[in-house]
Amino acid sequence: MSILPQHFPEILRIKPSVTRVTDSYMWLASKSGTYSAKSGYYAATTMETEAPIENQRTFKTIWNRKTSPKLQLFLWKVVQGALVLGENLAKRGLMANVACRYCGEIETSEHIFLHCYHTRQIWSNTIWTSNFNPANCDSFSEAFLASGSSIMLPPWGLVGDIFPWIVWGIWTARNLYIFENRVLTPVEILTKAIRSEKEWHQARASITQPRPSLTHSRLWLDLHLPTERPTAPGYGDILEYIFSPSS
């Protein structure tokens, strides 16, 4: 009870089985009580439609954003509150690691991805043409949606969307610090994000680039095949010489 005080009333409402059946897990989103991918997908989509209007718009934008599917899932987790952040741990009564490792404030998604002094140093770089700065946004959704309509400055040499890559970089740097005690500087996080975005775009371009069609390769072969008989004796000529009746 001291570990999960917020669940105290719910725990007291549990009635033990009169037939003394042992406890087991049940997946409530299916009739059988067992989990299936289909019922999991249905439950996830229902959660999205039941989410506040602002989050519904954010979810839709996440799935339409031209970025890596891995990052789409990650952004969805940030908005859904599904990351193992201090704030989310506190909601489950796990009070041991709720503070930001960099500054000691409560670790919310807004804090770690927008407002922490360490993160602000990344966003203080002039990345976009407008004066858009994610650190000035109140919520993560607001920053994410605004980043989609902001144009990046040409010197960065980016054709895609850098916001998800930076957010992912902040998250991996935070984990590196917590679990391996290694600190990445804001410059290192930003540089890594730019490099990852470029690599992803190059890999994607090489996959989607059209391959030469069969007609073209046939044409190329036809044009480069010799049209004249070679002057040196060929295999047939040698055979003709060996088996010639006159020899």
Give Cβ neighbours of residue 111 (< 8 Å, ≥ 6 apart).
Answer: 100, 105
d(CA 246, CA 171): 87
- Give whichever of 101 and 201 is closer to Zn ion, judged by the CB atom: 101
Rule CB under 5 A: say whether 116 interacts with Zn ion.
Answer: yes
Helix, strand and coil in the chain, % to nearest 5: 55, 0, 40
Q: How far apart are CA 74 and CA 64, in angstroms?
A: 14
CB of 99 to Zn ion, least distance (A): 8
Burial 42-65 (b: 16+ CB within 10 A, else e): eeeeeebeeeeeebeebbeebeeb
Tell me which of 27, 35, 76, 102 binds Zn ion, using CB under 5 A. Answer: 102
| Residue among 48 and 87 whose Cβ is closer to Zn ion | 87
Residue 175 or 202 having the CB closest to Zn ion: 175
The yes or no reply on residue 89 touching Zn ion (CB under 5 A) is no
Among 51, 94, 99, 103, binds Zn ion (CB under 5 A): 103
Query: Which of 129, 186, 196 lies closest to 164 in space, CA to CA?
Result: 196
Residue with smaller CB distance to Zn ion, 62 or 170? 170
Q: Which of 75, 78, 83, 100 binds Zn ion (CB under 5 A)?
A: 100
Q: Which two tokens stand for residue 93?
A: 């009564």
Min separation Cβ 136 and Zn ion, Å: 17
Q: Does 99 bind Zn ion (CB under 5 A)?
A: no
Q: Which is nearer to Zn ion, 85 or 116 (CB)?
A: 116
Q: Could you tell me which stretch among 98-106, 126-134, 147-155, 237-245 binds Zn ion (CB under 5 A)?
A: 98-106
> Using an 8 Å Cβ cutoff, are 150 and 130 in contact?
yes
Length of the chain: 247
Site string for Zn ion, 43-82 (x = CB under 5 A): ----------------------------------------
| Residues forming the site for Zn ion (CB under 5 A) | 100, 102-103, 116
